[in-house]
Amino acid sequence: MKKVNDEYEPLMVVNKNPDEDIVVLSKENWDSIQETIRLMSNEYLSDKVLSGIEQVKQRNVEQHQLVEDEDV
């Protein structure tokens, strides 16, 4: 379980019947998957994410300074 949490390494638990196999994930990994599903199932957000990925691929990006909370 430590490896599952520390290294984001899923653990496969196999049964005699392959249809009953299970995968154990860390909660953080599970939450990440759920967030990805949420984003990609929302057409507006999905388009934004895919557009951003395309901009990075085309190197159409700019670097900005991060804003600290107290500066907002």
Q: DSSP state, 1?
A: -
pLDDT digits (tens, 9 = 90+) for 13-61: 999 999 999 999 999 999 999 999 999 999 999 999 999 999 999 999 9
**Residues in CB range of 25: below 8 A, 6 or more apart:** 4, 10, 11, 33
54 phi, psi to nearest 5 deg: -65, -40
Q: Is residue 3 pLDDT above 90, yes or no?
A: no
How sure is the predictor about 8, in pLDDT bands with cuts at 50, 70 and 90? confident
Q: CA 47, CA 42: separation in Å to the nearest integer?
A: 8
The HSE-up count of residue 62 (CA atoms within 13 Å, CB side) is: 3
Q: Quick one: pLDDT at residue 59?
A: 94
User: Domain segments of the chain: what residues?
Assistant: 2-59
Instruction: Report the amino acid identity of residue 54.
Output: E
**Residue 71 pLDDT exceeds 70:** no
Q: Please tell me the pTM assigned to this model.
A: 0.64
